[in-house]
Amino acid sequence: MRRKNRATLLSFFTTLLIFTPIFLYISHNVFSGETIHLPQTSTTTTTPLKNPSTNNLVHLSYLIEEDLHLSSSSNISKQVSSSTTKDSLPDSILLPDWEVLYITEEDLNTSDIDDNHQYICVFQNNATSVAEFTGSLRNSKRFMFKCNVPGSVQRLRPLLSPILTNLNESWSEKQCKNWPEMLRWNYLAYESLSTENDVVLFVKGVNNRQGVNRSPEEFNCVFENGVNYSVKTVVTSSYQEVFRCSHPNKTEISRLFKNGGEKVRVSLEIKGGQSIVPSVAYYSLYKQQNEREDTTYSQLCACTMVHNVGKFLKEWIVYHSKLGVGKFILYDNDSDDDLGKVVQELVLDEEYNVEIVNWPWPKTQEAGFSHSAIYAKGSCKWMMYMDVDEFVFSPSWLNATAPTSDMLLSLLPTTEVSSSPSSAAETLPPSSDILPWLSRPIGQVYIKCLEFGPSNQQSHPIAGVTQGYTCRRRAENRHKSIVLLDVIDHSLQNAIHHFRLKDGYRTKTLRLNEGVVNHYKYQAWSEFKAKFRRRVSAYVVDWNQKVNPMSKDRTPGLGYEPIEPEGWANKFCEVNDSRLKEVTQRWFSLDSSDITGSKLAWQD
């Protein structure tokens, strides 16, 4: 027995002697931030990883979510100290799919971006990836770049912010390693704007479940100027990703902005000693309408969130402009298809009123529309919330020889709506109370959607979606809305296609013979495939996530991969409906003598 024990001990110590150096080597590399070199792994890449395979995306998303979950509690205080008090440093945010949003540390002019140089992100192990310029943030006027995290960096912990440079500049590995950790997108205050009476703050990672919102009493807003002076104010509303809080008083504002130049970050404090959410949002003072650059006012505006819609945009804007939309506000969600050039042509050459709001934040459509409800309030009375593949149409327009600027306004209530009625909450009342309910002013109009299929198209129709897609499903599905901005509830709560209204207002739903939305939803496969995986709503899962298979937000017959279903070109075709095709040919043909063969106003 003793001999057996000695043999066991000898075997144990022999194993320990063999593996201890290996363990120490790996430990040193992991915890010192160095790369562990594995076979067939490059430490440097200069090619952006724009389109990794679907299988890799699922795997990467899982890894990032796992990492974010671990870091969201243990690294909160560290992130706060490095991000909310040191404005001499840039901000780097780790987005889904191993993308980094790099936000420069100071105000820049567009002339500071040198088109002749290739910008790159340099990571902590000296690996690099191409950095693409993506615009500027409105409040802080800081510039943004996007780059991908190289594979050799993805295994490192902690994940440090990269350095932005160009190929003509030098950098040092030591400098990279002194950078702070990257901020995590799943827990971040990312935007703010001010009204006359309060501050609206947009925060990811606090109200995560649809319909479940924490009490505003659990939070404070925190304003910090980067020089050890901070102010807290009460939060008055907490819905979805939108938090509203009081302005600091005049004395506090004066101290926050002392010396006239400091930026003031604003974030959300979770009471009870838990944490302050890391922030890249800046506080700005409220500007009266006469102090703003755009002082025009439109009875009806249109707002949408866009991603790579350049080829569709002109048709949508020309059509709705002629029907009465005075201004278009586009929340650009990371487009890379020369959207700015298309808009510039529409504004300068054709004098349409189109504005781009840079909105780089992924899966935040509800928040973006809440932002627009405040942002556009000084220049728009009614706001139409619709996508660029959706066109409003009324059967009563079929015999009109030309579009008129009052066509869309004719779908709205004709009586002037007061902004402060006295009544109870907007819910459908019992039958005994229907007359008092109907007497409430209308603050929102629902328009039902008719969903069009591919209509045997193999590619994007040259003459536009209204001309190419003429076959649809029989039943309507979903709706879109036109809402009076003054009567949107203080919470700014919305479900993308409609808003919660203030107490005392009601919503009217149009009958199909009054107005519909032609939703060109299921287009030619080459177009539909382009939006696979990307869903902008915070509460609607991406196509490739294997959850909610029976949801109305999913496409019947489509699986979890971008593989064309059999017979796609003829799917969703139950009713031939060419009414809008015929109307637009008559209205927008450039040659009235031959409308069927003539180019339309939106064709180049």
Does 540 map to a domain? yes
Q: How far is CA 326 from CA 289, 320, 459, 489, in A?
A: 18, 9, 31, 24
Judge if 355 and 259 occupy the same domain.
Answer: no
Print burial letters for 431-467: b (CB count within 10 Å at least 16), e (below 16): eeeeeebeebbbbbbbbbbbbbbbbebeeebebbbbb
pLDDT band at 548 (very low <50, low <70, confident <90, very high): low
Highest mean pLDDT among 51-55, 59-63, 120-124, 170-174: 120-124
pLDDT in tens, 354-376: 999 999 999 999 999 999 999 99
Print burial letters for 125-135: b (CB count within 10 Å at least 16), e (below 16): bbbbbbbeebb
Per-residue pLDDT, 598 = 83
Per-residue pLDDT, 266 = 96
Phi first, then psi, for residue 26 (nearest 5°) are -65, -45
Considering only 6-20, 49-63, 282-296, 409-423, which range has the smallest mean pLDDT? 49-63
Structure tokens at 133: 């310029």
Instruction: Please compute the mean of the pLDDT values over residues 204-229 and round it to a whole number.
Output: 91
Q: Which residues contact 512 (CB under 8 A, 6 or more apart)?
A: 448, 476
Judge if 268 and 337 occupy the same domain.
Answer: no
pLDDT in tens, 403-422: 999 999 999 998 655 555 43
Judge if 200 and 159 occupy the same domain.
Answer: no
Per-residue pLDDT, 437 = 55
Whether pLDDT at 85 is above 70: no
CATH of the domain at 251: 2.60.40
Judge if 391 and 514 occupy the same domain.
Answer: yes
Whether pLDDT at 17 is above 60: no
Whether pLDDT at 588 is above 60: yes
Spatial CA neighbour of 500 closest among 303, 359, 366, 300: 366
In three-state secondary structure terms, 380 is: strand
Does 430 map to a domain? no
Q: How far apart are CA 428 and CA 425, in angstroms?
A: 9
Whether pLDDT at 208 is above 50: yes
Q: How far apart are CA 359 and CA 193, in angstroms?
A: 13
Per-residue pLDDT, 58 = 27
Judge if 102 and 179 occupy the same domain.
Answer: yes
Does 200 map to a domain? yes
Report yes or no: 444 and 481 within 8 Å, Cβ to Cβ.
yes
Does 73 map to a domain? no
Last residue of a domain, one of 184, 216, 247: 184
Report yes or no: 451 and 466 within 8 Å, Cβ to Cβ.
no
Whether pLDDT at 45 is above 90: no
Mean pLDDT of the chain: 80
pLDDT in tens, 305-324: 999 999 999 999 999 999 99
Last residue of a domain, one of 184, 219, 240: 184
CATH of the domain at 541: 3.90.550
Judge if 511 and 390 occupy the same domain.
Answer: yes
Per-residue pLDDT, 7 = 46
**Torsion of the alpha carbons at 307, 311, 317 and 319, rounded to the nearest 10:** -130
Per-residue pLDDT, 400 = 96
Does 396 map to a domain? yes
Per-residue pLDDT, 362 = 92
pLDDT band at 509 (very low <50, low <70, confident <90, very high): very high
pLDDT band at 172 (very low <50, low <70, confident <90, very high): low
pLDDT band at 553 (very low <50, low <70, confident <90, very high): low
Q: How far apart are CA 149 and CA 405, in angstroms?
A: 49
Judge if 341 and 374 occupy the same domain.
Answer: yes
Does 309 map to a domain? yes
Q: Could you tell me which residue, 223 or 12, shows the higher pLDDT? A: 223
Highest mean pLDDT among 45-59, 278-292, 490-504: 490-504
Judge if 170 and 233 occupy the same domain.
Answer: no
Task: Kindly state the DSSP code that residue 465 receives in the 8-state scheme.
Answer: H
DSSP 187-245: SEEEEEEE-SSEEEEEEESSS-STT----GGGEEEEEE-SSS-EEEEEEEEEETTEEEE
Q: How far apart are CA 58 and CA 61, in angstroms?
A: 5
Q: How far apart are CA 382 and CA 417, in angstroms?
A: 11
Whether pLDDT at 36 is above 60: no
Judge if 260 and 305 occupy the same domain.
Answer: no
If phi over 0 gives left and psi between -120 and 50 gives alpha, with beta otherwise, what is residue 398? alpha
Per-residue pLDDT, 24 = 38
Last residue of a domain, one of 228, 258, 283: 283
Judge if 202 and 215 occupy the same domain.
Answer: yes
Q: Could you tell me which residue, 500 or 56, shows the higher pLDDT? A: 500
Judge if 314 and 353 occupy the same domain.
Answer: yes
Residues spanned by the domain of 177? 91-184
Whether pLDDT at 488 is above 90: yes
Instruction: Please compute the mean of the pLDDT values over residues 130-141 and round it to a whole number.
Output: 85
Q: How many domains is the chain built from?
A: 3
Does 23 map to a domain? no
Instruction: Please compute the mean of the pLDDT values over residues 155-171 and round it to a whole number.
Output: 85
Instruction: Please report how the helices 54-74 and 76-83 are oriented relative to each other, as an axis angle in degrees rounded to 10.
Output: 90
pLDDT in tens, 334-344: 898 889 999 99
Whether pLDDT at 229 is above 60: yes
Q: Which residues contact 389 (CB under 8 A, 6 or more apart)?
A: 312, 316, 465, 519, 520, 521, 523
Per-residue pLDDT, 48 = 31
Per-residue pLDDT, 291 = 57
pLDDT band at 431 (very low <50, low <70, confident <90, very high): low
Judge if 217 and 126 occupy the same domain.
Answer: no
Whether pLDDT at 273 is above 80: no
pLDDT in tens, 246-272: 999 999 999 998 855 568 999 999 998
Phi first, then psi, for residue 436 (nearest 5°) are -60, -35
CA 211 vs. chain centroid, Å, equals 19
Phi first, then psi, for residue 327 (nearest 5°) are -150, 140
Per-residue pLDDT, 529 = 84
Q: How far apart are CA 442 and CA 587, in angstroms?
A: 31
Does 390 map to a domain? yes
Sheet holding 265-270, edge to edge: 188-194, 198-204, 242-246, 230-239, 219-224, 265-270, 275-276
pLDDT band at 593 (very low <50, low <70, confident <90, very high): low
Per-residue pLDDT, 533 = 64
Whether pLDDT at 38 is above 90: no
Q: How far apart are CA 593 and CA 178, in angstroms?
A: 71
